[in-house]
Amino acid sequence: MLLKEAMDGASKGPVANRALRLSIIVPAYNEARRLPATLDRLVSFAESLPFAIEVLVVDNASTDSTKAIVMGYVSRSPVVRYLHEALRGKGAAVRTGIMAASGEYLLFSDADLAVPIGEAGNFLPPRLRDFDIAIGSREAEGAKRYGEPFRRHLMGRVFNLLVRGLLLPGLQDTQCGFKCFRRDVAQDLFPAGTIHGWSFDVEILYIARLRGYRIAEVPVRWYYGEESKVRPLRDTWRMLNELRKIRENGRRGLYKPPGA
């Protein structure tokens, strides 16, 4: 397993006597159907490791049985934590998880595990070195996409072209929902964010660039999910407005560190 290999240097002694090495944050809006399989995989993954991790599910004001399902896992597994975020938007949910997490490294993943959780080892030392933020990339050399409709792929590439032109030159894929941060870096960046919707990670990466953090793109295997929450027409327009807002915020100096 990739993560086990990557973390061998941190696996000495009883798990209970070590600080958490990794927090996995899963934003969830009306995910009652997908969460049981996802949490089964995450709990099994955590139990297979010789070191402690935590799984934080952030319920983003769901109206289905998301909370009940997560609480069932909380009662059975010390690995799983439940958090609630009333403010709608994936960005708001991830921010809540980031600020509550205790791991040395914080990784957020979509609830469908479109990137298999076993790939987490590629985002951590010693497999990956000299980084502050590691982002999953479906465009980096060695990456593979499975089952993605052409129209959805085209929409993503056009959006990324705009992101690179306006805000983040050089990054091939800013929207893959699998990103890992050193905890101190994440907890510096996320309080400065203003975007609660789909473009929240573009904003976080933009702030990271302004503050001099090192960003690494890591190729991933990515599996398209038919139940994607993205609605192409409405969400694309909204995301374009969010890019405009990020650029304007940057010009106004709103992303400067406190006291700068």
Q: Characterize the bridge pairing of strands 133-137 and 178-182.
A: antiparallel
What was the pLDDT predicted at 232?
57
83 - beta bridge partners? Answer: 58
Give me the pLDDT at residue 156, please: 86
Task: At 155, list the tokens.
Answer: 């929409």
Give residue 126's identity as a one-letter amino acid code. P
Q: How far apart are CA 204 and CA 246, in angstroms?
A: 10
pLDDT at 258: 80
Write down the pTM of the prediction.
0.90
- Averaged over successive runs of 10 residues, the pLDDT of the chain (260 residues) comes to 44 46 97 97 93 96 97 97 96 97 97 96 93 97 94 87 95 96 97 94 97 98 77 73 95 88
Sign of the torsion angle spanned by Cα atoms 11, 13, 14, 17: negative
The b-or-e profile of 104-131 (16+ CB within 10 A means b, else e) is: bbbbbbbbbbbbbbbbbbbbbbebeeeb
Cβ atoms within 10 Å, residue 20: 16
Query: d(Cα 72, Cα 65) in Å, to the nearest integer?
Result: 11
Query: Which pLDDT does position 234 carry in this prediction?
Result: 66
SS3 track for the chain: CHHHHHCHHHCCCCHHHCCCCEEEEEEECCCCCCHHHHHHHHHHHHHCCCCCEEEEEEECCCCCCHHHHHHHHHHHCCCEEEEECCCCCHHHHHHHHHHHCCCCEEEEECCCCCCCHHHHHHHCCCCCCCCCEEEEECCCCCCEEECCCHHHHHHHHHHHHHHHHHCCCCCCCCCCCEEEEEHHHHHHHHHHCCCCCCCHHHHHHHHHHHCCCCEEEEECEEECCCCCCCCHHHHHHHHHHHHHHHHHHHHCCCCCCCCC
Residue 186 burial by Cβ neighbours in a 10 Å radius (0-12, 13-18, 19+)? buried
Amino acid type, 253: G
What residues does each domain of the chain span?
2-251
Instruction: Please state which CATH class domain 2-251 belongs to.
Output: alpha beta
